[in-house]
Amino acid sequence: MKFLEKFFYSLSRFHHKRIINYLNNFDIQTVIDVGAHKGEFLTYALNLKTVDTFYAFEPQKKIFADLKNNFLKYKNISFINQAVDNKISKKKIYINNLTMTSTMSEFNERSVYLRIKNFLAGTSRNYIEEYEVDTTSIDIYFKNINLKKSLLKIDVEGFEANVIEGSRNKLNEVLFIIVENQFGNHYKNRDFNSIKKILTNTGFSICKKFNFPTMHYQDVLFKKN
């Protein structure tokens, strides 16, 4: 498992560096990292020249502790041990052996990708542990915080629609949104086209797509028109 995590981490370094190099062409002041995991994206987002404030949301208990420890010296990062949803509640999270793929979404048991992932992760199950986590929403958490010139990055394994639904009020302030588009149909009720439609109707359009080196997903960058 450690080898698999190191493999994907090495690829994500290249992937995230490309994204940040592109974003450095814009005046971004705040980064909201939803699904921060251990800080793979955050590590490179810290290199954005104009950003002075960071928010990192990560609901997994052990991973959240690792996340905070990895960035102890940074005083401009707020760490939030909550999942982002469309409301305040408690929901189950399903922890995978490959913790960067843990999710609150309902699995699509027919997904070939899930079978391959579980094989590589050394398990026959989609998750090894489950427990309840506290949830909030972007609209609620940032109700009294100005998000002008902000970047909202969403990496929540099929739960993107919930995050966006709970962000409708604050989307008027957000400048960029990064949403993961997975190609393997891993989760039920997950449709990237519906997410694209919501964001388009809210005044966003796709300005760049970044394919992950293994080509099993892409990060899609939306910019406010």
- At 94, phi and psi to the nearest 5? -110, 115
* Highest mean pLDDT, choosing among 109-113, 117-121, 219-223: 219-223
Residue 81 CB coordination number (10 Å): 17
Task: Report how far apart the first and last C-alpha atoms of the chain are (Å, whole number).
Answer: 42
Cα dihedral 156, 126, 68, 65 sign: positive
pLDDT digits (tens, 9 = 90+) for 50-63: 999 999 999 999 99
pLDDT digits (tens, 9 = 90+) for 129-180: 999 999 999 999 999 999 999 999 999 999 999 999 999 999 999 999 999 9
pLDDT digits (tens, 9 = 90+) for 89-99: 999 999 998 89
Q: What is the pLDDT of residue 1?
A: 52
What is the Cα–Cα distance from 60 to 66, expressed in whole angstroms?
Answer: 10
Global pTM?
0.94
Domains of the chain: 2-218 (3.40.50.150)
Q: What is the pLDDT of residue 22?
A: 98
Residue 8: is its pLDDT beyond 80? no
Q: What is the pLDDT of residue 88?
A: 98
74-78, 97-101, 116-120: segment of lowest average pLDDT: 116-120
